[in-house]
Amino acid sequence: MVTFFDELVSYTAHVKPDNQALIYKQQSISYAQLSAQTTELAKGLFGLGLQRSERVAVFLPKLPVTVMSLFAITQANGTFVPVNSVLKALQVQHILNDCNVKILITSSDRLKALSSIVNQCPDLQHVVLIDKLPAQDDMATINAKVTLLTELPSQELEQTPRVENDMAAILYTSGSTGKPKGVVLSHRNLVCGAHSVSSYLLNHENDVILALLPISFDAGLSQITTAFFVGASCVLMDYFLAGDVVKTIEKHQVTGLTAVPPLWQQLMKAKWPDSATAQLRYFANTGGAMPQVTLAKIRETFNHAAPYLMYGLTEAFRSSYLPPDKVDERPGSMGKAIPNAEIMVINEDGNECAANEPGELVHRGPLVSLGYWNDAEKTAERFKPLPVKRNGLVLTEMAVWSGDTVKKDDSGYLYFVGRKDEMIKTSGYRVSPMEVEEACYQGAEEVAEAIACGVPNLELGQAIVLLIVIKDEHEITEKELLNKCKKSLPNFMHPKWQEIRSHLPRNPNGKVDRSKLSKEMKEKYSHE
């Protein structure tokens, strides 16, 4: 029986030791091997003085050691913080400081890329490198102690009391106020999520699941946890070219594939031979609504595979899915609640909505996370008492309020209506306009004002438009400005369109009229 996150490896290694756990390029690792290596790394982290619930960040591409690190951290009673491998130094610095990271696991080249910020993280005591030590001169400029993973001071783990509601992970998601906020997940959240998702996807030990999405993304992490829950194989791959995905699926005879709409758009441009599609048992979509034309193309390409359309939010891991046999019957639907969850649609009066009445999606159950790291105000906004009273209960159950407006039809199937905030959903990521704007201010001193907004886009879901006002005493071209801003932004935050303007419209309070600009940009760019 699995209760804690790290037991997804250790328990499965006990009952199915020879099953393939991870496949990476030419490398294959069994559950027994993965468990043994994970325990050795856990001892090494414990030897560094890792205390209960202290945070360990993992800033690496999708490698076997990356996955191993997550499980080793919780085995040593720490909390893992997976950092998206495409983030730039400023975003990494915010995460490391926001949750007081004590240990960073990364590579020598990534540490070099972080050289400008690593000493601005006062809680960071240790940097563990997976490959080689930096040059001696570079070592001297780093305050934290730098150690090779292979040279960690191993110390036997101590069996300390823990419960399934203890903190296991912090996943960072962009917030409406600009800075990403850390969603705190318990062991229970992660294990229940793995159980629930694997049950409706009908996962089994003979499945081969391709982990294509970032591990820092809840759906990306779910590819690993669902595989491990049933003893299946997980193929690790960072996305580069669609043709490489085709070759990987064909080579390893992948049976399960999950992606976000922009990624599906790219994958459907590739040539898919029968040898790559015949064995695919299911495909799944998450991270935004799937355009019907894209869905039709995927179903035509993977004509033996069952389609699963899913909806989730990091604050509750997964929330709903549309069963394959309802895809034609309920076009555009988000489906119903996943197993072991209840989804309610609540109006502004706090009551459950009638059929086809728009309201906020509210999720209850064991997948509801523990809140936002060190942010009581934001937690109170999103995590509230269960809106439906349960007679006789003394303790109040907390539910997560999604911020998404949805409606239920007469049969209880959910349909997305819109978001209550100004978040941009692009390339499967939630991006705060303020996060893009702040990077512009920091990256280019010429910027007087910056406003970012999202417009509908077939390939990206939403594309980012950036409007800039330049300081009077400066001159700069749009191309020069864009290049400066890009240095501080990961690729998925790069604006697709940028305009330099003499001024921006204001509302009566003197603030930039974001709604007017957003409407104008949608009318101008949505058709492109």
**Sheet with strand 461-470: strands edge to edge:** 447-457, 461-470, 497-501
Distance CA 355, CA 135 (A): 65
- Segment 456-502, tens digit of pLDDT: 888 888 999 999 888 877 788 888 888 888 888 888 999 999 888 88
- Which range among 30-34, 222-226, 341-345, 491-495 shows the weakest confidence by mean pLDDT? 491-495
Distance CA 327, CA 325 (A): 6
- Please check whether residue 504 is in contact with residue 518, taking contact to mean a CB–CB distance below 8 angstroms: no
Instruction: Specify the pLDDT at position 519.
Output: 87
Distance CA 246, CA 273 (A): 8
Instruction: Specify the pLDDT at position 316.
Output: 93
Instruction: Specify the pLDDT at position 287.
Output: 81
| AA letter at 444 | A
Q: Residue 393: is its pLDDT beyond 70? A: yes
Q: How many residues in the chain? A: 528
- Segment 134-163, tens digit of pLDDT: 888 777 789 999 999 999 999 999 888 999
Confidence of residue 510 (pLDDT cuts 50, 70, 90): low
User: What H or E segment, with its residue span, contains residue 221?
Assistant: helix 218-230
Instruction: Specify the pLDDT at position 114.
Output: 95
Longest dimension (CA), the chain: 70
- Segment 421-452, tens digit of pLDDT: 677 888 888 787 877 887 887 777 888 788 89
Tokens for 203, please give them: 């996962």
- Please check whether residue 491 is in contact with residue 86, taking contact to mean a CB–CB distance below 8 angstroms: yes
- The separation between CA 17 and the C-alpha centre of its own chain, rounded to angstroms, equals 29
312 in helix, strand or coil? coil
In the DSSP assignment, the letter for residue 288 is: S
Alpha helices in 141-241 (DSSP H): 187-200, 218-230
- Please check whether residue 195 is in contact with residue 241, taking contact to mean a CB–CB distance below 8 angstroms: no
- Segment 341-391, tens digit of pLDDT: 999 999 988 899 999 998 999 999 999 999 999 999 999 999 999 887 777
Work out the mean pLDDT of the chain and round it to a whole number: 91
Confidence of residue 277 (pLDDT cuts 50, 70, 90): very high
Q: Residue 174: is its pLDDT beyond 70? A: no
Distance CA 39, CA 157 (A): 9
Instruction: Specify the pLDDT at position 502.
Output: 86
Confidence of residue 399 (pLDDT cuts 50, 70, 90): very high
- Please check whether residue 93 is in contact with residue 121, taking contact to mean a CB–CB distance below 8 angstroms: yes
